[in-house]
Amino acid sequence: MIDSKDPVVFTRAGFWRGVRGAMVAVIGVAPFGIVCGITAQGAGLSFSEITLMSVLVYAGASQLVALSIWTHPPDIFAVAFAAFVVNLRLALMGPVLSPWLDRFKGWRVWLSLFTMVDHSWAFAVREMNAGYRDAAYLLGGGSILYLTWIMTTAAGFLMGEALHLPPGHPLFFAALAAFVSVLAQMWRGMGDLLPWAVAACVASLVAQILPGTFWYIVAGALAGSITGGIRDQRRRAQ
């Protein structure tokens, strides 16, 4: 870890090192972006709308959740709140990088946090724990993934337009499949089974009680998180 007396810098070399370090993640992000673009086209968004959404929101999971409950006209509160719940994890991820980011103010911090996603965060944490002291690494990794996301969601939209898929086409299952693939990477062992099962059961139950709403997402996320928190607390107590 970085000692409080160690100098932390923010250089162009660190930025490009971050770009190179995140290139491996581009391969994984690109199909996810294409799926999001196809889903957006199927939900009735225009090319400019999905592009603007990717530029301003830049969050694959929350964008797919928002698109899954998209209506015409959209329920702005429902869409925004669902995206907020999905993105709450970022509020816990950012402080982990405080040994880097607390040394700076202004655009360096805000731009680094705006472009930060799960992949760039994980790469940056690994570098920080290894003693690397150039905080621009986070911005470099986030920036290349940001550009990749914008381009691939746009490409996915154009693919959806070219295919002219009818509503309910099996290809739209790709959005759910993308979530499952992300979830599989987060599995840490049988200890995760209980909170995952609780989240799934609560979400399924709420979806039956309140059909056509987004509350099953909130309920499942909260139930799983609370269960996981209680599990971790008991483990520490033991």
For the entire predicted model, the pTM comes to: 0.78
Pair 58, 142 in one domain: yes
Calpha distance 43→71 (Å, rounded): 8
Structure tokens at 129: 């724990």
Pair 191, 148 in one domain: no
Q: What is the pLDDT of residue 56?
A: 92
| Domains identified in the chain, total number | 2
Pair 130, 211 in one domain: no
Q: Which helix (H) or strand (E) holds 93?
A: helix 89-93
Which of 13, 23, 25, 22 minimizes the C-alpha distance to 136?
13
Structure tokens at 16: 């490009």
Q: What is the pLDDT of residue 109?
A: 93
**Averaged in consecutive runs of 10 residues, what is the pLDDT profile of the chain (238 residues)?**
68 96 90 88 91 91 81 80 79 86 91 92 91 94 96 94 75 65 68 86 92 78 82 76
Structure tokens at 168: 């309910």
Pair 152, 206 in one domain: no
Using CA of residue 22, residue 25, residue 27, residue 33, what is the dihedral sign? negative
Pair 149, 67 in one domain: yes
Pair 176, 191 in one domain: no
Task: For residue 4, tell me if it sits in a domain.
Answer: no
Q: What is the pLDDT of residue 171?
A: 67
| C-alpha 73: how far from chain center | 25
Calpha distance 224→212 (Å, rounded): 21
Range of the domain at 238: 187-238
Q: What is the pLDDT of residues 135-188, one digit of tens each?
A: 999 999 999 999 999 999 999 999 988 887 776 666 666 666 666 666 666 676
Q: CB–CB of 172/42 below 8 Å?
A: yes
Q: What is the pLDDT of residue 100?
A: 92
